[in-house]
Amino acid sequence: MAEETNDLFDSSDSVRSGKPLAYAKTAVFPGPITLTTGGVLPEVTVVYETYGELSPQKDNAVLIFHALSGDSHVAAHNEEDDPGWWDVLVGPGKYVDTNRYFVICANVLGGCRGTTGPDSVNPETGKEYGMHFPPINVADIVDVQRMLVESLGIERLLAIIGGSLGGLMALDWGVRYPDSVSGIAAIATGARMTMQALAFDVVARNAIMSDPHFYGGEYYDKEEGPSTGLAIARMLGHITYLSQESMNKKFNADRNVGRKIDTSFETKFSVGSYLAYQGGKFVERFDANSYLALTLALDAFDLGPDRERLISAMRRSMCRWLFISFSSDWLFPSFQARELVDAAIAADKRVSYCAVKSDCGHDAFLLDSESDMYGSLTDSFLHHLSLDWQHDNPERRDQINADYGKPTLQAKDRVDFDTILSLIPPKTKILDLGCGKGELLLRLKERGHDRVMGVEFEQRRVLECVENGLDVIMSDLNEGLKSFSDHQFDFVVLSKTLQRINNVEIVIDEMLRIGTRAIVSFPNLGYKKYRAQLAEGYAPQTDPRPDKKWYNTKDVRYLTIADFEEFCHERNYRIFRKVALNSETRQVITHRENEEADVVVVVFGS
């Protein structure tokens, strides 16, 4: 589905046209194999490729699921080899480093690139399955991959990575084979197809099935198959892979200039020529019956049709989760990833989420230009999965770290951090709102808290948290914290962030719903220096950076210790601890706090 370049006719998805896969291996599983739909297959052949070496501990296997039209060739095996569809991500020294990981990628059941599908010959009849290929579910696709992984002697995968429709398969594995995978990176995907995406699939299938050369699926021995319908289906697909922005970038300069290409489709506009070309190329390498079988399986998939059942599904998972979405993706919009993230949080799972800012639409997950975020997130996620697996094996951990060779963040010293740490009892569960790159969380982890989590709005900071092995959710505090369950954490911390929040009341209400105790720290406007500034006729400058003045500071809320106490009093919040600090002298203030302290840390509850 990728569009690597601006060239009208280039698409990494169309690199190959049914060429043989030189490095592909084949596994045959004898049947009969009964599917979840009730259908039976006499045997199943799986075509797959592997990269790198399985470690003696068998703790470095990564399974990648391809999307609708992909195949086993996720990456080139060497410089002479054909390009792979995710060369950006997978290879020696790349984000999924095949020098470190053993990568497996197989063509899916129902596909048309070697693994058993409608165009395979049924050994019982000696003819292609065609319309006799049984209906399949995502679960059947996953089960076949599971058979393959087991046949390779792997009991537990380090990770599964799935983008787009491959993400649905990864989700299915995560909840049905929870003990056989340490972590799942689900990219540009959702718990189900949106109604809009489902509707597009319906139209695509109608185009195929109403093609007069479809012959009810029995076209293999005919002179012509449903290539017009399949091409139209593919054109539709291509529109959904792009965004308004990326389409403009690609086609606006010569909008009304058609291309002379050999096609019976309309080529009046540049975008029309592109669609005609892509549609035409697709039919050379893809089988219409596979398109029907796979889209029907995917359209029927639903990890949980409502929040409750989605949480219930996620509860069964045992892995760490990484969800990545892209802001301009409208095939799998960010709200879908967020649904999954919310369910994982509610199910008390370890989960990170980044909504990557991108103009590239759904295709973003395959593009080099966007890999700085999605690639780095995946890289760090895999690394920390490796460390987690070996948590009781310091030697192996050291070796993993040495092989990785990237530095990790040192926990930082900040005047209110010591105080906050001193107020938090050991082994408690902590949520840090506006966690930045995770400095406080790191210090908590070092101290032995193992359920710590952050919420952060800046994408770069979210990546830094993941690099530090922390669980972090990219989210705007002003939009609420409804993902979290009542009293899911012991402490919810808002350190030096209260003054930057518009919806103070909502955030504080939420903190007390989610946590048993809330901890806030904020600059005290009552500090004598600030009083003096106003007495001299100027607005107090609470932002410590000298270039941050009234017009450009991110601080939008101004309050004194007395204001906060009044606020708590009015709402019947009980203040349990209050530590006033002077950050200039680094001393705790116990007298005349509202004048002598410039920062205060308050522990309160309802």
Residues of this chain, 220-239, that bind its own copies according to CB under 8 A? 228, 232, 235-236, 239
Is 329 catalytic? The answer is yes
DSSP assignment letter at 171: H
User: Token pair 């389409």 is at which residue?
Assistant: 247
Q: Rounded distance, CA 162 to CA 441, Å?
A: 29
Q: Rounded distance, CA 202 to CA 592, Å?
A: 70
Closer to its own copies by CB, 28 or 202: give it: 202
Residues 100, 205, 349, 517: which binds its own copies (CB under 8 A)?
Answer: 205
- DSSP letters for 298-364: HHH-BS-SSHHHHHHHHHT--SEEEEEEETT-SSS-HHHHHHHHHHHHHTT--EEEEEE--SSGGGG
Active-site annotation holder among 66, 73, 362, 383: 362
Active-site annotation holder among 11, 72, 164, 270: 164
Binding residues among 479-508 for its own copies as defined by CB under 8 A: 502, 504-505
Q: Rounded distance, CA 332 to CA 355, Å?
A: 12
How many helices and strands (H and E) does the chain possess? 18, 20
**Count of CB atoms situated within 10 Å of the CB of 275:** 23
Active-site annotation holder among 97, 329, 379, 416: 329
Q: Considering the rule CB under 8 A, would residue 271 count as an interface residue with its own copies?
A: yes
3-state SS assignment for residue 549: coil
3-state SS assignment for residue 532: helix
Closest by Cα among 56, 62, 66, 71 to 18: 71
Distance of closest approach, residue 535 Cβ to its own copies, in angstroms: 6
Q: Considering the rule CB under 8 A, would residue 269 count as an interface residue with its own copies?
A: yes
The answer to whether 377 and 324 have CB atoms below 8 angstroms apart is: yes
Distance of closest approach, residue 330 Cβ to its own copies, in angstroms: 8
Distance of closest approach, residue 356 Cβ to its own copies, in angstroms: 20
Q: Cα 337 from chain centroid? A: 7
Closer to its own copies by CB, 10 or 505: give it: 505
Distance of closest approach, residue 6 Cβ to its own copies, in angstroms: 14
Binding residues among 511-570 for its own copies as defined by CB under 8 A: 525-526, 530-531, 534-535, 537-540, 549-552, 556-563, 566-567
Distance of closest approach, residue 272 Cβ to its own copies, in angstroms: 4
Closer to its own copies by CB, 550 or 576: give it: 550
Closer to its own copies by CB, 9 or 538: give it: 538
Closer to its own copies by CB, 247 or 409: give it: 247
The answer to whether 373 and 512 have CB atoms below 8 angstroms apart is: no
Distance of closest approach, residue 232 Cβ to its own copies, in angstroms: 6
Structure tokens belonging to residue 72: 């086993």
Number of residues that bind its own copies (CB under 8 A): 72
Q: Rounded distance, CA 458 to CA 476, Å?
A: 9
Residues 21, 181, 276, 568: which binds its own copies (CB under 8 A)?
Answer: 276
Q: Considering the rule CB under 8 A, would residue 265 count as an interface residue with its own copies?
A: yes
Q: Rounded distance, CA 604 to CA 173, Å?
A: 42
Q: Considering the rule CB under 8 A, would residue 248 count as an interface residue with its own copies?
A: yes
With contacts defined by CB under 8 A, name the span among 120-128, 295-303, 315-323, 380-388 that binds its own copies.
Answer: 295-303
Binding residues among 324-343 for its own copies as defined by CB under 8 A: 330, 333
User: Token pair 């607005």 is at which residue?
Assistant: 539
Closer to its own copies by CB, 35 or 207: give it: 207
Which sign, positive or negative, has the C-alpha torsion 436, 441, 446, 450? negative
Closer to its own copies by CB, 195 or 402: give it: 195
Question: How buried is residue 137: exposed, middle or buried, by Cβ count under 10 Å (0-12/13-18/19+)?
Answer: buried
Closer to its own copies by CB, 292 or 442: give it: 292
Distance of closest approach, residue 491 Cβ to its own copies, in angstroms: 21
Q: How many CA atoms lie within 13 A of 558 on its CB side?
A: 13
Q: Considering the rule CB under 8 A, would residue 244 count as an interface residue with its own copies?
A: yes
Which stretches within 134-178 are classed as H helix? 138-151, 165-176
Is 362 catalytic? The answer is yes
Closer to its own copies by CB, 182 or 267: give it: 267
Instruction: Tell me which H or E stretch contains 372.
Output: helix 371-389
Q: Considering the rule CB under 8 A, would residue 595 count as an interface residue with its own copies?
A: yes
Distance of closest approach, residue 1 Cβ to its own copies, in angstroms: 15
Binding residues among 183-202 for its own copies as defined by CB under 8 A: 194-196, 198-200, 202
With contacts defined by CB under 8 A, name the span among 15-23, 28-36, 244-252, 417-425 that binds its own copies.
Answer: 244-252
Q: Cα 483 from chain centroid? A: 16
Q: x/- site string to its own copies, residues 20 to 49, per CB under 8 A?
A: ------------------------------
Is 591 catalytic? The answer is no
Distance of closest approach, residue 559 Cβ to its own copies, in angstroms: 5
**Catalytic residue numbers?**
164, 329, 362
